[in-house]
Amino acid sequence: MTVESTAARTPRRSAGSKAGATGAKKSTGANARKNAGTELVQLLTPEGKRVKNAEYDKYVAGITSEELRGLYRDMVLTRRFDAEATALQRQGELGLWASLLGQEAAQIGSGRALNDDDYVFPTYREHGVAWCRGVDPTNLLGMFRGVNNGGWDPNSNNFHLYTIVIGSQTLHATGYAMGVAKDGADSAVIAYFGDGASSQGDVAESFTFSAVYNAPVVFFCQNNQWAISEPTEKQTRVPLYQRAQGFGFPGVRVDGNDVLACLAVTKWALERARAGEGPTLVEAFTYRMGAHTTSDDPTRYRGDEERLAWEAKDPILRLRRFLEAANHADEGFFAELEAESEALGKRVREAVRAMPDPDHFAIFENVYADGHALVDEERAQFAAYQASFADVEGV
């Protein structure tokens, strides 16, 4: 992250100027404090019924049928891609996969709230956000196949590389956001992390710095109830969104399986950031429907009842119910989407199988701008190691 990379952005609006792309009135600090007491922001019930919300309705007030269908399409295609990646791992085509199953609304809702010049710092599970940023899904798979160390250029889509070191991307996001503010740029930054990551020192440090420096960053915590096999009760004695209060900025808990609520709350938080009002913590209350990764077996530590209860709150099903009941989509739309999903699965499968193996020595490139004795030594050791296989084959 260079300071130059943020310098070209448009000038920052002053805190007193008119807020945000939606034209909605910006929230005041008093509103923010009021929100901190809200238990769960929900705009769509699990049955797909639209419920009114005095604070957040305005952020989705003008949404069209086409945009609603777009959110549905995003969630369905993301789920299809994710299912394909899980299958590819089972077939030995990927080394590992971290499924987002169940978290589609949290990711698509927040992802679609972003402007193009906002910057995203993801974990390793943000496949839906990547989709919203226009990162080709096949590019997400190279690292999981072990053929590259990333798979996309972060600056092409303002979507940073996946980060496996839990919580560390919140520090990167905070530093980047401080740079954005210093540049006077009119954009915001969003950092994704999990309930387990909330226990990391890096996250606490990010909260402190972003609050004190009024950094334009949204901390988007997907509380999917589990950190591998540890339940959220092992991370915190208070609801996670309430942590923000102690750092001096607002926190909100949103129904993470409600794509409309996630869109609205994230828009609100991003507008606060753009208007110079500093950080916000959004806790998207959701559920990891699958295993932590394909290396995990959740039947070892949680029962079926919990999963079944969350299945009834499925994010895709609830939007479908709403679309059908309110005549936003017809059968033709759902049938076309089904065909598009299958085509995506096929494209992903073929792309993964066609990925070339990397040059074994590429890992030694770009470590230093000029050569380095230690890297040269390691390269030579590695060459000898590779050659030892050739000997075995020759026997």
Ligand X SMILES: Cc1ncc(C[n+]2csc(CCOP(=O)(O)OP(=O)(O)O)c2C)c(N)n1
The binding site for Mg ion (CB under 5 A) comprises: 194-196, 224, 227
- Binder of ligand X out of 224, 257, 266, 280 (CB under 6 A): 224
Q: Which is nearer to ligand X, 21 or 165 (CB)?
A: 165
Q: Which stretch binds ligand X (CB under 6 A): 151-159, 219-227, 252-260, 365-373?
A: 219-227
215 binds, among ligand X, Mg ion, none (CB under 5 to 8 A by kind): none
Instruction: Tell me which of 80, 272, 292, 328 is the catalytic residue.
Output: 292
User: Which amino acid belongs to residue 197?
Assistant: A
Torsion of CA 267, 271, 272, 278, to 10 degrees: 100
Q: Does 161 bind ligand X (CB under 6 A)?
A: no
User: Which amino acid belongs to residue 378?
Assistant: E
Q: Does 226 bind ligand X (CB under 6 A)?
A: yes
Residues whose CB falls within 8 Å of the CB of residue 224, separated by 6 or more in sequence, listed in order? 102, 103, 194, 195, 256, 286, 287, 288
Q: Does 292 bind ligand X (CB under 6 A)?
A: yes
β-sheet bridge partners, residue 120: 159, 190
Instruction: Tell me which of 301, 353, 368, 385 is the catalytic residue.
Output: 301
165 binds, among ligand X, Mg ion, none (CB under 5 to 8 A by kind): ligand X
Active site residue 301: yes
Q: In the complex, what is the shortest distance from the CB of residue 174 to ligand X, in angstroms, rounded to a whole number?
A: 17
- Binder of ligand X out of 7, 51, 164, 380 (CB under 6 A): 164
Q: In the complex, what is the shortest distance from the CB of residue 193 to ligand X, in angstroms, rounded to a whole number?
A: 6
Instruction: Tell me which of 133, 272, 288, 318 is the catalytic residue.
Output: 288
**Vertex 272 angle, CA 109 and 198, to 5°:** 65
Of residues 112-131, which lie at the interface with ligand X (CB under 6 A)? 125
Spatial separation of the C-alpha atoms in residues 120 and 382, rounded to whole Å: 36
Q: Does 195 bind ligand X (CB under 6 A)?
A: yes
Helices (H) and strands (E) in the chain, counts: 15, 7
Q: Which stretch binds ligand X (CB under 6 A): 80-88, 159-167, 237-245, 352-360?
A: 159-167
Pairing of strands 230-231, 226-227: antiparallel
Q: Which is nearer to Mg ion, 151 or 194 (CB)?
A: 194
Q: Which is nearer to ligand X, 165 or 383 (CB)?
A: 165
Question: In the complex, which residue's CB is closest to ligand X?
Answer: 194
Q: Does 186 bind ligand X (CB under 6 A)?
A: no
- Binder of ligand X out of 166, 177, 180, 181 (CB under 6 A): 166
Q: Which stretch binds ligand X (CB under 6 A): 46-54, 191-199, 306-314, 345-353?
A: 191-199
Farthest CA pair distance, the chain: 77
355 binds, among Mg ion, ligand X, none (CB under 5 to 8 A by kind): none
Q: In the complex, what is the shortest distance from the CB of residue 111 to ligand X, in angstroms, rounded to a whole number?
A: 16
Spatial separation of the C-alpha atoms in residues 226 and 288, rounded to whole Å: 7
Spatial separation of the C-alpha atoms in residues 53 and 317, rounded to whole Å: 21
20 binds, among ligand X, Mg ion, none (CB under 5 to 8 A by kind): none
**133 token code pair:** 């940023």
Active site residue 321: no
Q: What is the contact mask toward ligand X in residues 227 to 266, using x (rule: CB under 6 A)?
A: xx--------------------------------------
Q: Which is nearer to Mg ion, 194 or 216 (CB)?
A: 194
83 binds, among Mg ion, ligand X, none (CB under 5 to 8 A by kind): none
Helix %, strand %, coil % for the chain, to 5? 50, 10, 40
Active site residue 288: yes
Helical packing angle, 65-90 and 259-274, nearest 10°: 100
Tracing tokens 């039947």 back to the chain, one arrives at 299
Q: In the complex, what is the shortest distance from the CB of residue 224 to ligand X, in angstroms, rounded to a whole number?
A: 5
Taking a C-beta distance cutoff of 8 angstroms, is the pair 181, 216 a contact?
Answer: yes
Residues whose CB falls within 8 Å of the CB of residue 112, separated by 6 or more in sequence, listed in order? 70, 71, 74, 132, 263
Spatial separation of the C-alpha atoms in residues 384 and 231, rounded to whole Å: 46
The secondary structure of 131-176 as a DSSP string is HHHT--GGGGHHHHHTS-S--S-HHHHTBPPP--STTHHHHHHHHH
**Which parts of this chain interact with ligand X (CB under 6 A)?**
125, 164-166, 194-197, 224, 226-228, 288, 292
Catalytic residues: 288, 292, 301
